[in-house]
């Protein structure tokens, strides 16, 4: 059970996305875990074959408990394998299972056909292709993983062999969508969760919701002509309103209420810890957004709604970029003192409509193109609200931004999420009187605040950080 956040002590396994015998690569989603805060997908930290599942569905176990045994395939034993889970897993538990001698139920001896590494052969078996019939492109004609994948892709009309993530497969099954009928937009045409959702939305004629938004400026991916009756692809819908959303409405269940209550407890515990251990100091600056808002409006005027920006995207990008210049606000404080982070994983505080909040990360936000950041922001927020975040998104933020002002307050002074060392707050973007050079005008402006950890920085550096955000916002075209 990996740690999905600094405050997590245990997690409940709600679903296995793999079964014994499945071949998993590092990063494949293998399980769904419910914490006090949200439901998250957990990825494998190792490559190999799932030998055994150690925790049953519905069981709640402490962080560090082994969830499954993944046996390495023979070729990989001895080679350095993936790091141990980042959780506080006991070394014994982390190392033990991985060293179990391979018990892969595998055909012996590659006596015929081209040379092929066991993991690749296993992949081929799993995907149902005969490795003996694949032309290898590797060393000495060895069959590589890519060869197998190409063979699978080239296979004519075989049902059910579609590249997809386990989560996408599962979602498709839940929604009754035929995976092979979904146009994949992922790597090598893999079907992603968003693709499945898009197909589902098309089928029901329901309005798009969640991360299936098309990329800015691009038409919606076309849906294949299958039995999906209302496969609209961005074209105006047929007459009449979309399907009623009544199905998703309903009284909050007792489970939902319990979730809100446990989320509230988790927030309470974390914020208490923050206030008890972190000596906060607070700063605020009013930032002139005339140029930024004017630029954004000009850009948006030429864009379809799906590609439009909101001021939050500009503010987040500026906050991420500025953190490069003032590293004292970006990183973690733990027993060993302050550890600055080279990467800027920007946590975004997302209010959940049923109450409570989560603050998942936009990874490497400082490096993202503004449009990409906007897209990821929309995706992250909608998944946060749907309760489907990934482990890394919850565990990784190095600096968090709260944007409560979106709903009307002038300014917000956040409480730092331990072990982070700063929290940026943006108030409402509003027009206000602005005096400059003896003249009074009306401009868009925002009050930006910084709550920062006095063990790491002081007001001078914190002030420098806010000033840097302000400078960046004056040149929005470079964000």
| Residue 225 interacting with other proteins (CB under 8 A) | no
Please, which residues have CB within 8 angstroms of residue 37's CB and are 6 or more apart in sequence?
5, 8, 263, 266, 356, 358, 394
Stretches 120-128, 152-160, 164-172, 405-413: which one binds other proteins (CB under 8 A)? 405-413
| Closer to other proteins by Cβ: residue 114 or 202 | 202
- 104 to 143, contacts with other proteins by CB under 8 A? none
- Among 218, 354, 369, 475, the residue binding other proteins under the rule CB under 8 A is 354
Q: Can you tell me which of 19, 92, 139, 353 binds other proteins, judged by CB under 8 A?
A: 353
Options 20-28, 77-85, 178-186, 400-408: segment touching other proteins (CB under 8 A): 400-408
The minimum distance between CB 388 and other proteins, in angstroms, equals 15
Residues of this chain, 369-398, that bind other proteins according to CB under 8 A: 377-378, 381-382
Closest CB to other proteins among 78 and 408?
A: 408
- Residue 273 touches other proteins, criterion: CB under 8 A: no
Would you give the DSSP letter of residue 474? T
- Sole binder of other proteins in the list 56, 156, 408, 433 (CB under 8 A): 408
Among 65-73, 274-282, 404-412, 416-424, which window interacts with other proteins (CB under 8 A)? 404-412
* 312 touching other proteins, by CB under 8 A: yes
Q: In degrees rounded to 5, what are phi and psi of residue 321?
A: -65, -40
Instruction: Give the residue carrying structure tokens 């929604």.
Output: 175
240 binds other proteins (CB under 8 A): yes
Contact 132, 120 (CB under 8 A): no
Out of 27, 62, 207, 459, the residue judged to bind other proteins by CB under 8 A: 207
Nearest CA-CA partner of 332 in 421, 213, 463: 421
310 binds other proteins (CB under 8 A): yes
Q: Which is nearer to other proteins, 336 or 408 (CB)?
A: 408
Contact with other proteins (CB under 8 A) among 351, 357, 372, 467: 351
The residue assigned the tokens 């979309």 is 242
Q: What does 178-217 look like in DSSP terms, one character per residue?
A: -GGGSPP-SGGGPBPHHHHHHHHHHHHTPPP-STTPPPTT
Q: Is 249 in the site for other proteins (CB under 8 A)?
A: yes
How large is the angle between the packed helices 459-473 and 311-325, nearest 10 degrees?
A: 130
Minimum Å distance from CB 305 to other proteins? 5
Q: Are strands 39-43 and 23-24 parallel, antiparallel or unpaired?
A: unpaired
Q: Does 146 bind other proteins (CB under 8 A)?
A: no
The nearest distance, CB 59 to other proteins, in angstroms, is 30
Residues 6+ apart with CB under 8 A from 272: none
Q: Which stretch binds other proteins (CB under 8 A): 23-31, 103-111, 232-240, 283-291?
A: 232-240
Among 243, 261, 269, 409, binds other proteins (CB under 8 A): 243
Query: Quick check: 255 binds other proteins (CB under 8 A)?
Result: no
Q: How many residues bind other proteins (CB under 8 A)?
A: 40
CA angle 118, 122, 124 (to 5 degrees): 115
Residue 248 or residue 439: which is nearer to other proteins going by CB? 248
Pick the binder of other proteins from 22, 59, 149, 232 (CB under 8 A): 232
DSSP structural state of residue 51? E
Place of tokens 């409405």: 249
> Residue 246, interface with other proteins (CB under 8 A)?
yes
Nearer to other proteins, 80 or 240 (CB): 240
DSSP track, 341-398:
-SS--EEE-EE-TTS-EE--EETTGGGS-HHHHHHHHHHHHHHHHHTEEEHHHHH--S
Tell me which H or E stretch contains 98: helix 91-99
Please select the residue that binds other proteins; options are 118, 136, 184, 311, rule is CB under 8 A. 311
β-pairing, 346-348 with 350-351? Answer: unpaired
Q: Which is nearer to other proteins, 95 or 442 (CB)?
A: 442
242 lies in the site for other proteins, by CB under 8 A:
yes
Choice between 235 and 440, CB closer to other proteins: 235
| DSSP notation for 236-297 | PPPSSPPPPGGGG--PPPHHHHHHHHHHHHHHHHHHHHHHHH--EEEEEEEEE-HHHHHHHH
Count of C-beta atoms within a 10 Å radius of residue 361: 25
What tokens were used for 96? 């033990």
Check residue 407 for interaction with other proteins (CB under 8 A). Answer: yes
Provide DSSP, 435-458: EETTEEEEEEEEEEEEEEETTT--
Is 229 near other proteins (CB under 8 A)?
no
Site stretch for other proteins (CB under 8 A), options 64-72, 123-131, 248-256, 277-285: 248-256
Comparing CB distances to other proteins, the nearer of 25 and 209 is 209
Q: Are 65 and 55 in contact (CB under 8 A)?
A: yes
Closest distance between other proteins and the C-beta of residue 264, in Å? 17
Residue ranges that bind other proteins, judged by CB under 8 A = 206-209, 213, 232, 234, 236-237, 240-246, 248-249, 252, 297, 300-301, 304-306, 308, 310-312, 351, 353-354, 377-378, 381-382, 403, 406-408
């Amino acid at each position: 059970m990996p740690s999905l956040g600094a405050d997590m002590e245990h997690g409940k396994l709600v679903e296995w996305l793999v079964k014994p015998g499945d071949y998993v690569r590092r990063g494949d989603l293998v399980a769904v875990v419910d914490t006090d805060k949200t439901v998250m997908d957990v990825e494998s930290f190792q490559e190999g074959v799932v030998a055994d599942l150690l925790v049953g569905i519905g069981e709640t176990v402490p962080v560090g408990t082994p969830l499954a045994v993944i046996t390495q395939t023979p070729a990989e034993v001895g080679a350095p394998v993936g790091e141990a889970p980042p959780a506080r897993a006991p070394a014994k538990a982390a190392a033990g299972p991985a060293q179990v001698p391979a018990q892969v139920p595998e055909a012996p001896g590659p006596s015929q056909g081209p040379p092929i590494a066991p993991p690749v052969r296993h992949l081929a078996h799993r995907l149902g292709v005969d490795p003996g019939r694949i032309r290898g492109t590797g060393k000495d004609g060895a069959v590589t993983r890519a060869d197998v994948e190409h063979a699978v892709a080239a296979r004519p009309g075989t049902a059910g062999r579609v590249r997809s993530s386990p989560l996408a497969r599962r979602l498709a099954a839940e929604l009754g969508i035929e995976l092979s009928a979904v146009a994949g937009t992922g790597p090598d045409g893999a079907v992603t969760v968003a693709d499945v959702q898009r197909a589902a939305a098309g089928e029901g004629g329901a309005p798009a919701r969640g991360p299936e938004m098309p990329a800015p400026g691009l038409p919606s991916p076309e849906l294949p002509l299958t039995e999906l009756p209302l496969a609209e692809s961005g074209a105006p819908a047929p007459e009449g309103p979309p399907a009623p959303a009544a199905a998703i409405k309903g009284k909050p269940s007792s489970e939902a209420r319990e979730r809100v209550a446990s989320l509230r407890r988790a927030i309470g515990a974390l914020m208490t810890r923050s206030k008890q251990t972190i000596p906060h100091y607070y700063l605020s600056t009013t930032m002139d957004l005339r140029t930024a808002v004017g630029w954004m409006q000009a850009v948006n005027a030429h864009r379809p709604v799906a590609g439009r920006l909101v001021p939050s995207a500009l503010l987040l990008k500026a906050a991420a970029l500025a953190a490069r210049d003032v590293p004292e606000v970006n990183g973690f404080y733990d027993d060993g003192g302050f550890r600055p982070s080279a990467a800027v994983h920007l946590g975004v505080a997302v209010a959940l409509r049923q109450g409570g909040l989560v603050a998942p990360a936009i990874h490497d936000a400082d490096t993202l193109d503004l449009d990409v950041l906007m897209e990821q922001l929309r995706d992250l927020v909608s998944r946060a609200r749907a309760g489907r975040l990934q482990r890394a998104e919850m565990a990784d933020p190095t600096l968090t931004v709260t944007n409560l002002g979106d709903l009307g307050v002038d300014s917000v002074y956040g409480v730092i999420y331990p072990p982070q060392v700063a929290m940026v707050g943006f108030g409402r973007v509003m027009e206000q009187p602005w005096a400059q050079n003896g003249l009074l005008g009306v401009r868009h402006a925002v009050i930006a605040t910084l709550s920062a950890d006095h063990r790491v920085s002081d007001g001078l550096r914190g002030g420098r950080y806010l000033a840097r955000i302000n400078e960046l916002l004056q040149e929005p075209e470079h964000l």
